[in-house]
Amino acid sequence: MELWYSEKHTEDVKFSIKVNNHLFTGQSDFQRVDVFESDEFGKFLTLDGLMMVTEKDEFIYHDMICHVPMATNPNIKNVLVIGGGDGGTVRELTRYPSIEKIHMVEIDKMVVDVSREFLPITSSKLDDTRVTLFYEDGIEFVKNKPNTYDLILVDSTDPIGPGEGLFTREFYRNCFEALTEEGILVNQNESPYYEGDAREMIRASQKVKEIFPIAKVYQFHMPTYPSGHWLFGFASKKYDPIKDFNPSKWEEFGLKTKYYNTDIHVGSFMLPTYVKEMIESGTC
């Protein structure tokens, strides 16, 4: 017998993985949560059937969401993570001794519980003493927290289901208010390749750009996400991720990373022409 997990990247494109075990399935108040085990990717977590994290390539996503802003402003002390229930984003943050406080707001406790049980690779640092977990709606959480965080990382699902509100103008506006004057926002910014993803990519970029004086996107190779071409948004009140980037200051942290380095920090902001044009024109 063969057991295959499939995700439809579009109506006409399917990505399938041969699995050895279906380790967990559950329906939370928000979504369906599954964990599988495979030879190629190790264990992997899906939400409503969509790939979130695999043991093989989670390092790429978590390196790029965390180290790009940290290397832009190495003085970040207080961080808010919205979503990110698998814990990988928090794990990377805890590697900086200079970070004093990490708030993680995950709406779905089941994602955290399941990650603690099956994905120690990502969840291992959720009990770091600097981390506080809130099982709340991130949209509500960021309201009325003026001038509180140096960095907000939006580690969200796609803009359907529980993640939808994390792609609204109002939410980005509240993030702006919740950030200090030195604040940086990094948000999951979808993909430029398939039309449905590209439309959300453009909308998210435009909304962020309306609110923040500095707003860019950067790209990375994420093989288990649709097309493998994924983006984060980088927005800030003060810091430009290239002009204000000081590679040697980040090197002083002495962190060993598997994807991120101070070259790719710069290279990831150098986008293909079609991606730049989509963002500028607002159409795909």
Chain contacts with its own copies (rule: CB under 8 A): 4, 6, 10-18, 38-40, 57, 60, 193-194, 219, 221, 223, 227-229, 257-261, 263-264, 266-274, 276
Spatial distance between the Cα atoms of 272 and 223, rounded to a whole number of angstroms: 18
Backbone angle region of 255, left / alpha / beta, with phi > 0 → left and psi within -120 to 50 → alpha: beta
Task: For the CB of residue 12, give the shortest distance to its own copies in the complex, in Å.
Answer: 4
138 is in an annotated binding site: yes
Phi, psi torsion values for 237, nearest 5 degrees:
-85, -25
86 is in an annotated binding site: yes
17 C-beta neighbours (distance < 10 Å), count: 18
Nearest C-alpha neighbor of 215 from the set 175, 155, 274, 260: 175
- Is 155 considered catalytic here? yes
Residue 138 or residue 192: which is nearer to its own copies going by CB? 192
Spatial distance between the Cα atoms of 211 and 176, rounded to a whole number of angstroms: 7
108 is in an annotated binding site: no
Task: For the CB of residue 136, give the shortest distance to its own copies in the complex, in Å.
Answer: 34
Residue 4 or residue 206: which is nearer to its own copies going by CB? 4
223 is in an annotated binding site: no
- Both ends of the chain: CA-CA distance in Å? 42
> Two tokens at 284?
């795909």
Residue 118 or residue 230: which is nearer to its own copies going by CB? 230
Task: For the CB of residue 258, give the shortest distance to its own copies in the complex, in Å.
Answer: 5
**Three-class secondary structure of residue 58 per DSSP:** helix
Spatial distance between the Cα atoms of 121 and 215, rounded to a whole number of angstroms: 32
Task: For the CB of residue 274, give the shortest distance to its own copies in the complex, in Å.
Answer: 5
Residue 124 or residue 261: which is nearer to its own copies going by CB? 261
191 is in an annotated binding site: no
Residue 91 or residue 103: which is nearer to its own copies going by CB? 91
Task: For the CB of residue 184, give the shortest distance to its own copies in the complex, in Å.
Answer: 21
> Two tokens at 6?
């499939």
Exactly one of 57, 63, 150, 155 is catalytic; name it. Answer: 155
Nearest C-alpha neighbor of 209 from the set 254, 169, 261: 169
* Long-range contacts, 46-49 (Cβ 8 Å, 24+): 46/5, 46/7, 47/111, 47/157, 47/161, 48/157, 48/161, 49/7
163 is in an annotated binding site: no
Known binding-site positions for S-methyl-5'-thioadenosine: 31, 106, 137-138, 162
* Active-site annotation, residues: 155
